[in-house]
Chains A and B, each alone.
Chain A
């Protein structure tokens, strides 16, 4: 019951949020001398934030799975790992569109870009393992998610020392008025849709597992 309520509430917030977001983004003043291109910010940054949230959800659920061996943890880890890929894809597609105008090139080997790309690649590897690893791959994947989570600060620190060009987080508290509203609505909408997708994917995963267990029971019976 509680689950359904949370799901419904988040779904409503997401639908409402994504419905008004384009208008808020329209009304937000232009900035950075980038004219219209800068508006992608309201989609790019929330997607990136959601991806990082999902990395930690997957990593912590994996620790839970390795420590307790309860399949419920694994379901959460898989669901979150899938969503890292989805939100990461949004981030990796919207970023270069902005960069092409702002920096005159689609890609630079900057700290944020490199660390985000690598993090995303770790979860591509996660998906490959889940798909092709065969039996026993849950634990392997859990190990990978754990190592991936530990890797986040390390990659960031390494590339940050080396070079950085991406706008920093300090941009966000300086947002005022309509820009701030649009950014907040964007973030909330993304997080709400994230919760919806996470719960849905987790439910599907649970059903999948139950079906598999039942099939095995029939086979052995």
Chain B
């Protein structure tokens, strides 16, 4: 489509440039001997009432028609965008005033305003163009206002205001560049609309006046005899259609180009081989899990060779910083990966059943009844338009076919479990606090009596005191229902306090698994050690700087062959850059992926150089 559009656009530009030079003379030459002729070899589109060649006139009219339309759009867009975008930098009162004005102006239909103003300004090319420009202002202003409101809420604009930048500078440097892209796209499509509208004004006799002419006027003249000779009316009509279509297509192509910078197309998933042998008594058994994600810059592998297993009633923490792959691991287990992602694994068993051997329908059902997910943001995890009761009961009604009354009584039981009164059933999510919503999410997970609860950063959006309540609640649930809990968090202190066993992830792999009580002093991987050290503690010496991890996590697009932590590691040796260390047993409970693990020290504070 891009090529077609380019060809159409070029033809218009060339016609507008050379049309008047080549055909201008013949378009204006009257020929009394050939008045109102039909199509012939000499005059393919016929002639008008003065005997002028219509083909030449249509071609010559390209320039005035396009110029007027473009001028109208540019004027209207400039005025509208400035008006709308200024709302981002004005004082609150002025901003409300301008926004109100824009909304008021939008109430009038643009075309009617244009016709009214064309009459007011006086019939003529300039008047019609101005009228159309003014009529277009509210639309552009509204769009710019909406886009600018997005920029106005950003921290960088607030910082620029505090810097004391003047308003015009804020507008030019910070607001307009950030909203220019969508505005340019809509201006392009608006040019097509403006062309049609201007032709309409000319057609009605409000636009270009004789002896000047544009397509609208030619259409008007041709229409008088359309039943005798259709072509003189059709030709300018087709020209209008062609030009308007070109602008529409141009807008589409440009918008398409912008959108293509988004995610890459989806890859097809290979068929999954059946899982390895089941181990007895495991709620979750994952071996060698990998995830591939297509990105605009190439395919990345954010999860590589992750193995983990949970026994009933166990709380396991999965810690890592952003980009470590901890959340994707959870999503891969729950079959909730974003579109386009590919999963590979040797074994994936939930409650002993092999998820790879199931049909998609069976798998969904097994996951829905065996697994509960609790997400970070309770505000968006609940459907805001449904009552709590509906959301709590829909799973059991769908999967276990429970009756309405039975489901309702189970729901109030579940709410009692999470220490919420049954009255909450009748409320909607927005009437609850963040902590209450997270409790509702947990209650909703409990409804299916899951064997495994995956909690992905369930307390990150909550305050510390509420966080404490939620972790306490999760431990009680674990004790009473013997469900296993996989607790994912970036907060190593919280994980260390709340979990029994901890898996530490870095750059897509598990680098250390250890009992939680060894986190404070017994970590062996340099990264885990550094991570623990960098947590500010209430009892820490406040006169010393916090130990940090120098450098940045590796680029997922360019994975190195060796240990992923090697470039940042204080204990690295040549061997580390060549081969990635496997996750190996130190003792029964402790595994580490490091060639040269940190020795166990009595005083962990001195283990890592700051």
Determine if chain A interacts with chain B: no
Q: Which residues of A contact B (CB under 8 A)?
A: none
Q: Which residues of B contact A (CB under 8 A)?
A: none
